[in-house]
Structures are given as C-alpha cells and as structure tokens.
Amino acid sequence: MTVELYRIDDRLIHGQVVVGWGKPMDLGFIALVDDELAASEWEQELYRMAVPPGMSVSFHDVAGAAVAHGAWVRDFRRGIVLTGDVATMARLGNALAGSADPLRRVNVGGIHHRADRTQRMRYVFLTHAEETALRALAASGVEVTAQDVPGAHPVPLEELLCHRGV
C-alpha cells in the first residue's frame, strides 16, 4: 500500500479524518507530524484515544518524519500523513526533496479562521505567508488541492487562491 493522503488540517485527528476519509480509504495508520505534539505525551494520549481500533497513530517531529517516511510509503497498510499547518507540511516537503519518496501531493483539508488570515473557501483561510508556502510547494512539483471530504471536488491551488470566501 502507500500513503494515500498528505493532509493539512488544524483539527488534526477528528471525525472527517478518522471517519470521513478513514472508512472509505480503509486507513490502517495515521502519521501525525507536529514538533510540539511529538514532545508532549499528554497531547499524544489525547489524540491516541480518538483513533478507532484497527487504526494506529504515531507522532513525529519533522526530522523524525523525514526518516520514517520511506517505511510509511512501503507499509502494507494505507495511511495518512497529517500536519496541523502549512509550515510543517512545507518543512516536510523540503526534508523529503531529493529522496526516493518525495512529497507529490498535498491535501488542504482544513485551515480555519484567524485574524491574520483571508478566507479562500468555507474551510480554508490563509495568511500571505501560507499562500506563499503553498505556491512554493506547487512550484517544486507538488500537486496542491483543497478538499475537506472524499466526496467533495478537489480544488486546485490556483483556483483556491482566486476564491474569496466561497
């Protein structure tokens, strides 16, 4: 199998991920990449309890994720790599650049309102720096789309950045 989805979602593990994507994709594992979470056993336990039986979750900082990524790609189960923000996914992309298994696709699944963000879609709000980082990912050959749930139409980055709160 492989990593089915590289998702940016500020709610991290929640219903859309575990049920919405997890059930139809028959997900076996979630690799959660977040430097702060990787250092907090209590936070890890919080998210571990949200993962249903039959699905495993592991926690990594970006450097650790870059090392473990090859094993995820070759895991016999289907998996999701999940980050809580654009910057972390961009750092992971940079860390994997030039490796045997570079980052090829990124799903913008949920980045919600904050005072310094502009709304692009109902579930996507971006700062200028986040838009720049997503453009840089795309320029490096990564396919970036926005899609909250499997049944929704994936919106390409250029189209996403033209949206104004639609």
Partner 1 sequence: MNSSEGENGERPRALIVGHGDYAAGMVSAVGQITGRGGLFGTLSNRDLAADELTQRMRDAVHGGIDVIFTDLPAGSSTIAARRLLRERPELRLVTGANLAALLDFVFQGEGSDVQALERAAEKGRASITVLGGHG
Binding site for partner 1 (CB under 8 A): 10-15, 18-19, 42, 46-47, 49-52, 110-114, 122-123
The neighbouring-strand residues paired with 156 are 145
Vertex 124, ends 18 and 9: CA angle to 5°?
30
Residue type, 124: V
Residue 76 DSSP one-character state: S
The distance of closest approach from Cβ of residue 66 to partner 1 in the complex, given in angstroms and rounded to an integer, is 25
The distance of closest approach from Cβ of residue 44 to partner 1 in the complex, given in angstroms and rounded to an integer, is 12
| Residues 27/150, Cβ–Cβ less than 8 Å | no
Q: Is 29 left (phi over 0), alpha (psi -120 to 50) or beta?
A: beta
Nearer to partner 1, 11 or 135 (CB): 11
Nearer to partner 1, 4 or 148 (CB): 148
The distance of closest approach from Cβ of residue 13 to partner 1 in the complex, given in angstroms and rounded to an integer, is 7
The distance of closest approach from Cβ of residue 140 to partner 1 in the complex, given in angstroms and rounded to an integer, is 27
Nearer to partner 1, 15 or 141 (CB): 15
